[in-house]
Structure 1
Amino acid sequence: MSSESDISLRDYYEDFIDEILTTEIIWGLKNDDGWAVCASNDFEGHETIPFWSNEKDAQKLCVDEWQDYQPSPIPFDEFIDAWLHGMHEDEVLAGINWDEDLVGPEIEPIMLIEDLLEEE
């Protein structure tokens, strides 16, 4: 991966942290069957649940195979206590502020918890 890509992925991640610490809301995509999940782009054999720091960016992904999904808010405390801890136990990654091509950082939930609590 080029250093330019690394910088933009790091920027995606830092923007996510900054924005959710301000709003205390995380956005996922949900439909009648549950939350959007997909195969990891970076780690073969792992699943990723994508999250966004704002509704507008999450809405951009409600197309094609996710057209029946809608952005759904997750409170900050619930995100850390229930979501990230459960994802860590299930070995599911967190996709962070993915773009329309499903490209963005993928991080282990425990690392995300540490970064959020460190910045809080």
Structure 2
Amino acid sequence: MRIPILKLHKYLLISVQVELDDQTALQFQEDLLNKIHQEGSIGVVIDLTSVEMIDSYIAKVLGDVVEMSNLMGAKVVLTGIQPAVAITLIDMGIMLNEVPTALDLEQGLEKLQQELEG
């Protein structure tokens, strides 16, 4: 299963609407990095509102996606993080201190624009 990645100007918008398994997470990672490269995207908003739980592997992949996107020059904003997801990320030692967050996709897009404008 593939997670849709939408392009809006120089941004990519992703709303994860499925439970993430290992294969889906790895496919998403590859798809997103390829899309950043192909489109020259400077920002990414990943909405996790529908993701209620993640395991340690998915947490690691999510952290890697953020770091890899940043290395490619695309700022990432995470939105809609559920409490169980936040707990898992912290328990796994995945510190996303430099990653802006927002409550929903709309606020995430606004936050991304603010981050990129200075």
Bigger strand share? 1
| TM-score, reference length from structure 1 | 0.32
**What TM-score results when the alignment is normalised by the length of structure 2?**
0.32
